[in-house]
Structure 1
Amino acid sequence: MSAWTVERAATELLRCEDERTDRGPITDEWPALDVATAYAVQDATLRLRLQRGERLTGIKLGLTSRAKQQRMGISSPLVAWLTDAMELPPGEPVPQDRLIHPRVEPEIVFVMGRRLAGPGVTTATALAAVESVMGGAEVIDSRFRDFRFQLPDVIADNASSAAYLTGSVAMDPRELDLGLEAVLVEVDGQVVDSATGAAVQGHPASALALAANELGARGLAIEPGWIVLTGGMTDAVFAPPGTSIACHFTHLGPVFVSGGAHASR
């Protein structure tokens, strides 16, 4: 077996995604994989996605809750890439035929109006760059068996990206107190969790600012028109076939996610 490299890790993770196959953590075999190298893997995977025709449409944040950050030994969220292949049209079910073990979490979603480049981005300047805000739901799907990974693994794996969808209500974020915007999560008609926007780094725009500053340190920026998934407001819930999940936001309306039909292997 050849030695691990950035390119090999990117190819392996994309293979697992394409073949709907999970594996053990890469850090089990490549202990030297660190955060900086993991982001290089993530970027290499994005290049492979673009080469096969996908289009970069935005970013997502992961590990935005302080409790999760403490468990992983970090102080700010992860940043990962979104492409047009990850967007689910309204009413489209979870694509079980291409996912391994999908879970769903509610998110506050920004559409960017202006370019946002770090360093030095604050919560206020981040919010000022946002054109509109929507309720959304992200479908996450780790390529690692049983969602077992170390921090560099999940960064390399594009923060467990899979798919996302947004609701039909778009508002000016300055018209809302996003820290107090609440969501109720229902699974098959039963309320299983609730949270407010404060669960996302204290305020979703604070998460956006941290993302802009993280990307700025890498010479990158958040571009106009991009979608930004600001991070899970609650713990993710499993979304097996036949499941019905609803995320009811106070002002941003409902987002419905169908588990869809059973996948064929």
Structure 2
Amino acid sequence: MNRIAFVNGQYTAQTMAAVHVEDRGYQFSDGVYEVIPVMGGKQIDGIGHLERLDRSLRELKIARPMSDRAMSMIIDEVVRRNRVRDGWVYIQVTRGVSPRDHAFPKDVEPALVIYARPKPATARRQNAENGVAIITAPDQRWARRDIKTVSLLANCIAKQAAKEAGAYEAFMVDGDGMITEGSSTNAWIVDQEGRLITRPAGNEILNGITRLALIALNQELGLEIVERPFSVEELRDAREVFLTSASGLALPVVKVDDKVIGNGRPGSISTRIVETFERYVSGADTNIAAGKTVA
């Protein structure tokens, strides 16, 4: 199947899609992105993802390419044209094309790319059932991690280290020995009292849309959530560990570096969270995180 992408106002065969050599995203990482999960042919938390995209654009003073409503309609059309039932949509907005100069150019049109890919839910469900292994790695990213920028080299280095170690993810560690987040996930632990602990939203982490959805869904779970940094030692000694992301929803972690968590199987609280997310994505309201992104 020849996949279709939306590139700067036109639907085009993905094999023919191209960006200009002086696109500032290509030359300076001067752009932002979002990935919206698609399950059952519908966007999951699409409104929340577009709200976060708008925030990232504002923080970098990049013009919005169109309204959220128009972009959502294009996303649905890209999903339809590519016949994606389960998978994801990638959205990238760069400042646009301009002669190379570090300073922001004036009166330049932003560049927009949207494409979709299928991803069967089988692997996610197997990971949720069995749990995943992670490693810890130094956090080498820039200081504005709250902006979902396309500059992901440090994240890629951490993810590659995890892959080479046979792990699913790398939880990154700041200079004080505290966990920030995963290379493409938010990090959570369950302490011995059964409380969920995760780093508070701020410049140090990306405020995940799935993270926000879990906080909102906690009305059903009735668990205590504590937003504070936690250390590598707390991570390894936790009752349970799990991660959240748009692609994986919630996944239990059963091993950190060389330390087995609990009995090496997903714990009862992580399992409840996984089950709650599965009910959520199969329901009618899949925009629970909307309006809850960091201002």
Query: TM-score, normalised to structure 2's length?
Result: 0.26
Query: TM-score, normalised to structure 1's length?
Result: 0.29
Rg comparison, structure with higher value: 2
